[in-house]
Structure 1
Amino acid sequence: MSLSPASSLLPREAELRQVMAVIDASPAKIALLVDADGRLVGTMTDGDIRRALLSGADLAAPAEKHMFRDFQVARDDDEPSHIMARLRARSLRQMPVVDAAGRVVRIETLVEALATPKPNWVFLLAGGAGVRLRPLTESVPKPMLPVAGKPVLETILERFVEAGFRRFCIAVHYLAEQVKAHFGDGSDWGVEIVYVEEPHPLGTAGALSLMPAVPDTPLLVMNGDVLTGANFSQLLDYHEAHGAAATLCLRQYDIQVPYGTVEVDGPWATGIVEKPLHKVFVNAGIYVLGPEALALVPRERRYDMTDLLAELISREQPVATYPLHETWLDIGRLEDFRKADQVVETLPP
């Protein structure tokens, strides 16, 4: 499919936050950075943004420092069939087409790669008792709390359906029948839903051992109380591109120290910083697990995702990290639940 480059073009001086907005809004899901004469000098996709964030870059940083310079292009006199063949051969989703001067005239995209339903299973954790949300959860399981007129878990499910996922396994325990009665077999959403019921709380990874069979494709796992604008197809692509046994989604969290801090060396002060801001990455409750990771989950005993990730790292299995720059909210506390209606309004269609 041919797309206009207009919504993807940015000057090379653009900031990362501008690039991020263009990628999100562009049908081609790519930012094309050009010089003052309109010639293509670099490209950026979602993966490039996340690599920049992992390297410590701020969203105000210049994109030119992080853009991809060794990009693939086609010429405007190339046969369309040849361009499609190159896309397939290199497993690319899009390719800029340039004129003799190097200016982008259109973008060719591999439509079938964007539209094909995913064979991967999605595992949703919906068994928690939601103790911190009482009294709201005394008669309703936390994933079934209404946000913007529908249960939180329904919004999560629909986000995956929009991304092309059709096979779901939902882990239930507390007030399990409410979840099962609402979602049934998934036919109302055009998907397949099966359930595993925890005999007792098994932690954030233990319920994975209850799946009837270990999937032979990467499994997406998500807490049933998280709202996010993350693109799950891009997450899966990122996991596969890195050849990871597991991929862990991260969210940057800022910690403001309310006091001036003092750096010391023995009895001597070596520096003073007034109310420093520390930036750390926290677990976002969204994962991709390969079959080799799932094989390590012990049968029917409490086991947390942190245990599984630590085991993989100890075995020198590759664990990738995927920083989220999209909307994200963990509805774990009453104050978070009160924000949820507004957060849903910010999620992309």
Structure 2
Amino acid sequence: MKDWRTIRLTPEATIRDAMRAIDEGATGIALVCGADDTLLGTVSDGDVRRGLLADREMADPVTTVANPRPRTAPVGADRLEMLDLMRAHGVTLLPLVDGTGRVRGVQTLSRLLERPHFDNPVFIMAGGFGTRLHPLTADTPKPMLKVGDKPMLEHLVRRFVRHGFTNLYISTHYLPEKIRDHFGDGSDFGVRITYVHEETPLGTGGALGLLPPDIAKLPLLMINGDVLTNVDFTRLLRHHEQQQFAATMCVREYEYQVPYGVVQSDNDVVTGMTEKPVHRYHVNTGIYVLDPEIVAGVVPGTRIDMPTLLERVADDGGKVGIYSSFDYWLDIGRIDDYERAQQDIGILGMT
């Protein structure tokens, strides 16, 4: 709201005052605050109705019907966290409070549901040969293989659009015309697409050096074009910015169970035994966020893979971090991965 004070009430206000504030604010709720804007409670249409049914009078203090323990969110709370909170508790407005409990604003469900917009560039790597998926890739670049009724690359593009990212760059190498013919300039998909072409493969990071110099000087999201995922790119970007990383690698947990009992020993003496132990590792998902200085530092025409690039960033003192994702993710590199994707796509609701 432009001015949340239109729905602010003092503890001395009456139920009638609350009804006026609710009506004028058109939010279905009013805030009861102390002199220093400390939140004392909220009052909704339902609170007023229940109070009147319990024989309260219109001239009674609003505190007699107010909810003294309302749901709130901290100032600067993540958009999706607020949406989750609203949906979980059936509220359409959240007071935003600081560390001392003072109201600093409000957030409404209608505003949160508006599609966000980010100027950050998105770089999708779509130049691979897909040799392990042959013969499917004999005349189709791997990212253009259909999963469900759309190419896997289109699933990615549409997901970025849903999250408010419309400034896309796509790297091509193998059968680039197949990708360009399908997406054009991106206008049919609600995005602007700029293509960069690798005359020779430059590794998983080398194509960064081909990006135009006028690219937005904002953190860049980078992803392999053969990934099927519902990773929340908004949360990923927010994490990168909040942690002040120079580069962020999106990882997920990979679990491997040894199918046998494992024996530890020292000089042929058993020191311990573990039955079928489980080992857990963080694995790279091929999704990154990179500060603009890193992108600008990749020399055009240089072959480099992303792990090497990130190691150089760390060696130069840059802060390289991780974002642990528990969202669906599938790297479609083999035939059985592709078959699994066909089964998963309907369950995920991404068709």
Q: Deviations over 1:133-163 (max 9, x none)?
A: 1111111100000110110000010000000
Q: Which string of whole-angstrom CA distances, capped at 9 and with x for unpartnered residues, describes residues 136-194 of structure 1? A: 11111000001101100000100000000111000000011100110000010111001
1:133 aligns with 2:133: yes
Distance of 1:154 and 1:115 partners within structure 2: 19
Aligned to 1:91: 76
Residues 1:120 and 2:105 aligned together: no
Matched, 1:166 2:166: yes
CA distance in 2, matches of 1:87, 1:298: 44
1:282-308 deviation per Cα after TM superposition (whole angstroms, max 9, x unaligned)? 001111000122133232121111111
CA distance in 2, matches of 1:114, 1:310: 39
Distance in 1 (alpha carbons) for counterparts of 2:156 and 2:166: 13
Distance in 1, Cα, partners of 2:39 & 2:133: 55
- Which residue in the other structure is 2:203 paired with? 203
Name the residue aligned to 2:305: 304
Counterpart for residue 22 of structure 1: none
2:40 & 2:300 partners in 1: Cα distance?
56
Q: 1:261 to 1:298 in 2, by over 3 A?
A: farther
Deviations 1:316-348 (A, max 9, x none): 211121111011100011110001122222436
2:120 partner SS: strand
**Equivalent-residue separation in structure 1 for 2:180 and 2:187 (angstroms):** 13
Counterpart in 1 of 2:255?
A: 254
Q: Which residue matches 2:94?
A: 107
1:76 aligns with 2:41: yes
**Separation in structure 2 between the aligned mates of residue 216 and residue 348 of structure 1, nearest angstrom:** 34
**Pairing 1:268-279 to 2, within 5 Å after superposition:** 268-279=269-280
- The normalised TM-score by structure 1 is 0.70
The number of equivalent residue pairs is 265
Which residue number in structure 1 is paired with residue 60 of structure 2? none
Matched, 1:336 2:306: no
- Is 1:327–1:343's contact at 8 Å kept on the other side of the alignment? no
SS at structure 1 position matched to 2:251: strand
1:227-279 Cα distance to aligned partner (Å, 9 max, x none)? 11111111111111111101100011111212221112233221111221111
Q: 1:167 to 1:75 in 2, by over 3 A?
A: farther
d(CA) in 1 for partners of 2:139, 2:256: 35
SS of the residue 2:121 aligns to: strand
Letter in 1 for 2:281: V
| Aligned residue in 2 for 1:212 | 212
Q: Distance in 1 between matches of 2:40 and 2:167?
A: 40
Which whole-Å deviations, capped at 9, do the CAs of 1:86-141 have from their partners, x for residues lacking one?
989x4334698xxxxxx997534363796331101110000000011111111110
Counterpart of 1:226 in structure 2 is 227
Task: Evaluate the alpha carbon distance shift between residue 165 and residue 263 of structure 1 in structure 2; reply closer, same or farther with a 3 A threshold.
Answer: same
Q: Deviations over 1:31-72 (max 9, x none)?
A: xxxxxxxxxxxxxxxxxxxxxxxxxxxxxxxxxxxxxxxxxx
1:279-318 map, 5 Å: 279-318=280-319
In the superposition, the TM-score normalised over structure 2's length comes to 0.70
CA RMSD of superposed structures (Å): 2.6
Q: Which amino acid aligns with 1:137?
A: T
Tell me the secondary structure at the aligned position of residue 115 of structure 1.
coil
CA distance in 1, matches of 2:132, 2:292: 33
